[in-house]
Structure 1
Amino acid sequence: MGEGAFGQVLECWDHERNEMVAIKIVRSNRKYRKDAMIEIEILQLLGKHDANTSRCVQVRNWFDYRNHICIVFEKLGPSLYDFLRKNSFRSFPIDLVREFARQLLECVAFMHDMRLIHTDLKPENILLVSPEYIKVPDSNVSSNKGSHFKMLPKSSAIKVIDFGSTTYDFIDNNYVVSTRHYRAPEVILGLGWSYPCDIWSIGCILVELCSGKMLFQTHENLEHLAMMERVLEPLPSNMLRLADRDAEKYIRRGHLNWPESATSRESFKAVLKLPRLQTLVMEHTDHSSADFLDLLQGLLRYDPGDRLGAREALAHCFFTRS
């Protein structure tokens, strides 16, 4: 069903339960075994407090086979990333994005209430519950651009997976977390992180779902920070002033040292071509664009202390006016 650095996920038939399941088979390696045991502990803790409303994937069982930790999960549909990819990266309609956003925030609110931080939220780690889809006419496709139809999931139900990087909020949180493109500014600047790093990731994910494109397509820190400034606004001077030793090289006289320290002309151009958040949202949404933009601005606030909490975000008019 999929693979990563950790190992593989196989679709299997459970003869005892008479159902299809997904089994995550972890590489026989000390680090991956340790991560897998942490994931099992987290999954069991979540399952103990979950009345099947948290949107977290359910673990069925686990076993150790020839030094491979094997975790048995309920079988779900494709990830939101895979769905986008198979759909030629056509965006989801705003009403569907709203449903995904609501469930994602419910999941994160549940985790944060339990003092857990996911730290690796991204479209690859959000799975549709059902693989079923329908085809609908796509009015945005010109005659020379392929199919005039796009796929839409039959059901908007999703679940969050991959709790191997999940941590408790009381652990020393100064190391680098999150997949690059969904990484919060406080992580890049070495300021320490907590629950708000999950909220930043959700903001990036929602922009990607509504536009079909990754918000920050980059592989280096300075370019990433410059992209944030281009899409949002200048980074606050107090955050730049407190940056750790590794991040100091990105800053000069209280400002981001950009474009002076750009690694290439291509990097400079990549930042320059990015639209403002408002332009991006209005380009891909007709109704409710103002509410959606306001929600995104709350999720993508630089200062983690000012960022919306998960429960606060759920009370936003983007959801209540729908």
Structure 2
Amino acid sequence: MTQQVCEKLGPSLYDFLRKTAYRPFPIDLVRELGEQLLESVAFMHALKLIHTDLKPENILLVSSEDAKLAENKDGSFSKKVPKSSAIKLIDFGSTAYDHQDCSYIVSTRHYRAPEVILGHGWSYPCDIWSIGCILVELCSGETLFQTHENLEHLAMMERVLGPLPRHMLERADHHAQKYIRRGRLNWPEGATTRESMRAVLKLPRLQNLVMQHVDHSAGDLIGLLQGLLAYEPSARLTAQEALSHRFFRRHRERRSL
């Protein structure tokens, strides 16, 4: 009988965050993880494959070893980080070819792109949106869109990123039309509870959210995230374009000096 053995890898990025009480990763580590993730997705996209379920649970650290960072004045250490930044992308069970039916719902809720929720269909850019959500989570320690309901999810997007384009709302399929009223999102009128309204109102704008957690490279990261989280799929950066963004390029140039 033939046996298949998988290599032993470390915890997922989600499990590492959970183990460290959801403390944000240092920005330089976020950069290294983001670059590897984009390289993996660029390779998939070049093969005409769309992952469709990118999330921290599906990104594994190669090593399970920790390192301690930032010694405090009393001699204690304030933060644990992975000893190695090497990662591997897993779970290709939902992967689709670009020519397959792209009308069904994909992606785990919190990382789902607006075109998927609105029923426009999807393609490579849905992976790019998920990467943007993941990078925010790594640098903040918190899921960007912590919700389980479509209208609230779209309202959270508008709170963080600004109004959804009217033409995208007008193209919503018959399932999503109930979220739109008179050419705009039916919010807060359509909110089901006051708790839902408060969950949206507490979210900061993208720029403010990043600057709360990032002490250097904040401007470059904000620019990258704006490209990854563009509402219109055709306006989003490709994985290859994102790898050439100054957030990564400037760091590579400094390392080469």
Quote the Cα distance in structure 1 between the aligned partners of 2:69 and 2:214. Answer: 18
In the TM superposition, residue 98 of structure 1 has moved relative to its aligned partner by 0.2
Q: Comparing both structures, which one devotes a greater share of its residues to helix?
A: 2
Task: Structure 2: give runs of 5+ residues left out of the alignment.
Answer: 252-257
In the TM superposition, residue 135 of structure 1 has moved relative to its aligned partner by 1.8
Partner of 2:80: 151
- Higher Rg: 1
1:301 aligns with 2:247: no
Quote the Cα distance in structure 2 between the aligned partners of 1:138 and 1:306. Answer: 43
- Deviation readout 1:228-262 (Å, 9 max, x if unpaired): 00000100001000000000000001000000000
User: Which aligned runs of 4 or more in structure 1 are off by greater than 2 angstroms?
Assistant: 136-139
In the TM superposition, residue 74 of structure 1 has moved relative to its aligned partner by 1.4
Partner of 2:122: 193
1:261 aligns with 2:194: no
TM-score normalised per structure 2: 0.94
Quote the Cα distance in structure 2 between the aligned partners of 1:135 and 1:249. Answer: 50
- Matching residue's letter, 2:7: E
Q: How does 1:129-140 map to 2 (within 5 A)?
A: 129-137=62-70
CA 1:138–1:124: 2 relative to 1, 3 Å = farther
- Matching residue's letter, 1:105: L
TM-score normalised per structure 1: 0.75
Partner of 2:217: 288
Larger deviation: 99-108 or 72-81? 72-81
Partner of 1:318: 247
Aligned length: 248
Q: Comparing both structures, which one devotes a greater share of its residues to strand?
A: 1
Q: Percent identity?
A: 73
In the TM superposition, residue 148 of structure 1 has moved relative to its aligned partner by 5.5
Higher relative contact order (CA closer than 8 Å, sequence separation 6+)? 2
Partner SS state of residue 73, structure 1 = coil
Task: Structure 1: give runs of 5+ residues left out of the alignment.
Answer: 1-61, 64-70, 140-146
1:274 aligns with 2:192: no
- Matching residue's letter, 2:201: L
Picking from 88, 94, 101, the partner of 1:165 is: 94
Partner of 1:205: 134
Quote the Cα distance in structure 2 between the aligned partners of 1:318 and 1:163. Answer: 28
Partner of 1:103: 36
Preserved CA contact (<8 Å) 2:68 2:77? no
Q: How does 1:1-322 map to 2 (within 5 A)?
A: 72-137=5-70, 149-322=78-251
Partner SS state of residue 41, structure 2 = helix
- Matching residue's letter, 2:170: R
Partner SS state of residue 104, structure 2 = coil
Root-mean-square deviation over aligned CA pairs: 1.5
In the TM superposition, residue 97 of structure 1 has moved relative to its aligned partner by 0.2
- Deviation readout 1:58-108 (Å, 9 max, x if unpaired): xxxx86xxxxxxx64211100000000000100000000000010000000
